[in-house]
A = this chain, B = another copy of it.
Amino acid sequence: MLSLIGLGLWDEKDVSIRGLEELKKSDRVYAEVYTNDINSGTLDRLAEMIDKPIIVLSREQVEDAKELLEEAKKKNVSLIIPGDPMISTTHISLRIDAKKKGVDLKIIHASSILSAAISESGLHTYKFGKPVTLPFWTEKYKPTSTYDSLAENAKNGLHTLLFIDLKEGKGMNSKEAFELMGKIEEERKAGLLSKKSKILALSRVGSDEQKVSYGTIEKLEKMNVGKPPLIFIVPGKLHFTEEEVLSLHEI
């Protein structure tokens, strides 16, 4: 049996009681942390709580999970995954491979940035369109496709969750994010990310350091909106209760 255990939003305290019990029962505990900006010390403290070592796997060991699945045929193996074990492409292959090899797979859910960001924003769940990432640019690859999703949602009056990218577990900071958004706006020029656009910036959701700030990009750029991981919300058409709740975070 392979159990994918959600680590939740921030640190070891975001694991559910069900997850903790499963970890205590497991013969072997692994962790996959390369997709996320994990709070330092989390795994050490969790290992202490469950009184057994947690072995960190490399990206390759999760993507080509032959050994992991072989072990899971004979033992109860847990794999800790940050957030709610959302199905990234890696996890989809893991699931398909498990099925092929006849290994039972269980998911133990935990808090997720997807619902937590909506919850913290106070905006209506049913008014969120397709979410999108603001990806790092490289020398050769400078995508502006983030704007397509923003435009599609805006056309329908919907809000957009804008995931600010992570690379090798390190989140893009607000300075980089605002600069990138400026460059994309310059190229696309539809005013969705102009200096006067009002957006909601959320930093380190679910932690004691959480910051939520609402204002124009111009103002947000000049202040400290908090450290990564970041997630922004570009609001669509606002209901008056939504305006009221956003004003609680107005800078």
Interface set of A (CB-CB < 8 Å, partner B): 6, 8-9, 12-18, 20-21, 83-87, 89, 92-93, 95-96, 99, 107, 109-112, 114-116, 118-133, 152, 156, 158, 205-206, 241-242, 244-245, 248
Give the chain B neighbours of A248 by CB distance below 8 A. Answer: 95-96, 99
B130 touching A126, Cβ below 8 Å: yes
B158 touching A16, Cβ below 8 Å: no
CA distance A224 to B12 in the complex (A): 38
Give the chain B neighbours of A6 by CB distance below 8 A. Answer: 111
Give which listed residue, B16, B20, B120, B128, contacts A111 with CB less than 8 A.
Answer: B16
Q: Give min CB distance, A106 to chain B, whole Å.
A: 9
Q: Which residue of B lies closest to A13 (CB)?
A: B18
Given A15-B17, A156-B152, also A130-B132 (CB < 8 A): no
Give the chain B neighbours of A112 by CB distance below 8 A. Answer: 84, 111-112, 114-115, 119
Give the chain B neighbours of A119 by CB distance below 8 A. Answer: 84-87, 107, 109, 112
B12 touching A92, Cβ below 8 Å: no
A110 touching B241, Cβ below 8 Å: no
CA distance A13 to B109 in the complex (A): 11
Give the chain B neighbours of A110 by CB distance below 8 A. Answer: 16, 110-111
